[in-house]
Each structure stands twice: as structure tokens, then as C-alpha cells.
Amino acid sequence: MPTTTTLLAFALISLGMVLTPGPNMIYLISRSITQGWVAGLISLGGVALGFVFYMLCAAFGITALVFAVPYAYDALRFAGAAYLLWLAWQAIRPGGQSPFQVKKLPVDGPKKLFAMGLVTNLLNPKIAMLYLSLLPQFIDPAANVLTQSVALGFTQIAVSVTVNAMIALAAGSIAAFLGARPVWLLVQRWLMGAVLAGLALRMAFEARRA
């Protein structure tokens, strides 16, 4: 199992990631504003199931690579660093999309809401790359890789579901508040970009743990 310090550090990074606008956040906000917070939470259930699917795939994949391929840990580390730098640029580039540019959605029943939440997450390649980028950063390859991967993955899921649930419950108020204060969105984007870039550099220059 990862140490408490490792889990807390990973939880903080996960918090920063979930606050970065993406397809899941845009869909949940739009759904909550269009159809109400209950519909948003049902959709979030589908999103959560997608997280579990990607997390398990990443956990078993990372475990297999670390044991089967020499220097696989380093390969994942450098690939992850490059991806995090790309995410940092996406956060600060001019014309970045705001999740509060809400799109009007049709009214759907519970089954379709859950399915659309799941599909939205599964069709978002950012989630798969998120796990492949972040998990190796917090895993000690000398210990049980699968156990660490699953523990860290469920930590990320818990943080993401909690934050997104709060966003779904307060989507209308948050959209009105931030929509009237664009500088807050700009600060959030630059802060997240700096965090991602710092993590990428740390990952790239970290000595191999053995």
C-alpha cells in the first residue's frame, strides 16, 4: 500500500486535475443546469463507472509492463512528463474552453443519463492518459505495483466523484459567479498550468526508484 503521505500528495494532484475543465465537467455542468442536479448526479454515476474501467486497465497494464519490459517504468515516466507538459499548455493557451459555456441538452431518462455519463468518460482519452501519466509518478516499482495502482486509482476516483458531485449540486450558482468574473477563470487556468508543468519536470528528472 502507498504511504499516507503519498496518498495525500496524489489526492492533491487529483484535486487540481478534476478542477481543470474537460469533457466530463462540461457535460455534467450542462446536464445539471439543463435538467437539474438529480440528473447531474445520475450522469456522474456513469462517469464514475468509466473511471473504474480506465483505472483497472491502467493498473493491470502498468503492472504488466513494469514486470515484463526492462526500463518500462522510465518509459512511462518520460511519456507521462511529456503529456503533463501538453496539459499545462492546454490550460494556459489563449482561447482555452470554459466549462461554463453551457450547451443546451435534451431532457433524458435515468438510464440514458447514466449511459451518456459513461460514454462521455470512455470516449475521453484524457482519462486513460491521466492514469498512465500520474500513477507511475507515485508508484514504487520495488513494492507491489498492482496494489499501489489500485489504491491510488480509487483515491483519484473518490476525489473526482466528490468534487464533481458538489459541482453538479451547485452548477447554476457556480456558472453565474464565474461567468461574471472571467479573471477567476484565468487565474485558475494559469495556476493549474504551473502545477502541471512543475509535476512534469519533477517526473522527468526524478531518479529511477529501484
> Is residue 4 in a domain?
no
**Domain assignment of residue 199, given as a range:** 14-205
pLDDT exceeds cutoff 50 at 15? yes
Confidence of residue 12 (pLDDT cuts 50, 70, 90): confident
- pLDDT tens profile 166-191: 988 887 676 666 666 667 767 766 77
> Is residue 74 in a domain?
yes
> Is residue 118 in a domain?
yes
pTM: 0.67
The set of residues, in sequence order, having a beta carbon less than 8 Å from that of 6 and lying 6+ positions away, is: 138, 152
Domain count, the chain: 1
**Which of 93-118 are b and which e, b meaning 16 or more Cβ less than 10 Å from the residue's Cβ?**
eeeeebbbebeebeebeeeebbebbb
Mean pLDDT, rounded, for 49-75: 71
* DSSP 8-state assignment for residue 209: P
CA distances in angstroms from 18 to 1, 51, 101, 139, listed in the order given? 23, 12, 17, 20
How far is 121 from 112, CA to CA, in rounded Å? 14
Are 126 and 57 in contact by the 8 Å Cβ rule? The answer is no
The H-assigned helical ranges of 69-181 are 72-92, 110-122, 125-134, 145-169, 171-179
> Is residue 1 in a domain?
no
- pLDDT tens profile 120-151: 888 766 676 677 767 777 887 778 878 888 88
How far is 85 from 108, CA to CA, in rounded Å? 37
Which pLDDT does position 209 carry in this prediction?
45
Count CB neighbours of 173 within 10 A: 9
Residue 96 region by backbone torsions, left for phi larger than 0, else alpha for psi between -120 and 50, else beta: beta
> Is residue 197 in a domain?
yes
140: helix, coil or strand?
A: coil
Confidence of residue 210 (pLDDT cuts 50, 70, 90): very low
> Is residue 136 in a domain?
yes
pLDDT exceeds cutoff 80 at 82? no
Amino acid at 83: Y
Mean pLDDT, rounded, for 26-41: 84
How far is 207 from 74, CA to CA, in rounded Å? 9
Looking at the chain, how many residues does it have?
210
> Is residue 190 in a domain?
yes
Confidence of residue 200 (pLDDT cuts 50, 70, 90): confident
> Is residue 49 in a domain?
yes
199: helix, coil or strand?
A: helix
Which pLDDT does position 162 carry in this prediction?
94
